[in-house]
Amino acid sequence: MPTVSLVVPKPDADDQFDLVTTHKVEDGNVLFEALEEQGTILPHGCLAGSCGSCRIEIIAGPENLSPLSAIETDTIEYLEKSYRERFGEEFLKGKTLRLSCRTRVKGDVSICKVREPKKA
């Protein structure tokens, strides 16, 4: 049974993380639904893959998620374009974004809210 770990960046080190919770989920379940069943409600909107409100950053195990569907690909491309415009090309380096309402869990992963630059 795969484990989904929710993590948050350490306050003074954006590339190090503190574990918040872990969830054992059925292989192949949709990430958002699997956590919701256990009482953890991730940020979301349409739950249909088009709004991008459920975007998450994959900190570890991106290879353990289902391939992107056509709608997830379109939405992720839109989100990445928006991030590039707001924060520059460097922002996306090393980041894997997915939609929790579309991606299915096939193995262990660690996820967090997309790390955006801190406001001054």
Q: Which is nearer to ligand FES, 47 or 60 (CB)?
A: 47
Q: How far is the CB of 11 from ligand FES (least distance, A)?
A: 28
Task: Specify the DSSP class assigned to residue 67.
Answer: P
Residue type for 79, please?
L
Footprint of ligand FES on residues 46-105 (CB under 6 A)?
A: 46-54, 75, 99, 101
| Least distance from ligand FES to the Cβ atom of residue 78, Å | 10
Torsions phi, psi for 23 (to 5 deg): -135, 125
| Range 34-53, binding ligand FES (CB under 6 A) | 44-53
49 torsion bin: left (phi>0), alpha (psi -120 to 50), beta (else) = left
Tell the smallest beta-carbon distance from residue 7 to ligand FES (Å): 20
Collapsed DSSP state (helix, strand, coil) of residue 28: coil
Token readout for 79 is: 């989100």
Q: Which residues bind ligand FES (CB under 6 A)?
A: 44-54, 75, 99, 101
